[in-house]
Amino acid sequence: MTKLEVASVRITEEEKRFLEQLISQGKFSSVSEALKAGLYELMKEERLKRVPWKTRDEVRKYFYGRKRIIKGLEDLHDEED
């Protein structure tokens, strides 16, 4: 289980109102959840910078010609035969 830490964040009244509005709209269950969603976006962007592809075509080209041991997602089910 991931250990959770506590962090205090100072925000303006306007920012707080905005977060509360998101919660009242049902988009998030708490201020904490709304802030974490923003944090995840930043983390995702950072992780994406390390990925060598920008488009789906680039991904396919990168793996083109790679020896395929598994075809598609088919063998996800073979264990049930």
Partner 1 sequence: MMKKIELYLESSALWALYYEEQKSEIVEYSIDKPNIICSSSNWTLLELQRGIQKRFNQKEITEEEAEHLRVFIETDIHRLVNKRKLILQPITEEHIHQARVLIPKYNLYASDALHLTTALLKTSQLLIVDDYHFKRLDEKIKVEQNIEVIPVTMALDDFNEIIESF
Q: How many CB atoms lie within 10 A of CB 67?
A: 4
Residue 29 in the binding site for partner 1 (CB under 8 A): no
14 vs 79 by CB, closer to partner 1: 79
13: left (phi over 0), alpha (psi -120 to 50) or beta: alpha
Residue 73 in the binding site for partner 1 (CB under 8 A): yes
CB of 8 to partner 1, least distance (A): 29
- 19, 31 in Cβ contact below 8 A? yes
Distances (CA, A) of 67 to 17, 57, 63, 77: 54, 18, 9, 21
CB of 81 to partner 1, least distance (A): 9
Which letter does DSSP use for residue 80 in this model?
G
Task: Specify the stretch interacting with partner 1 by CB under 8 A; choose among 2-10, 13-21, 22-30, 62-70.
Answer: 62-70
Which residues are at the interface with partner 1 (CB under 8 A)?
44, 47-48, 50-53, 56-57, 59-60, 63-77, 80
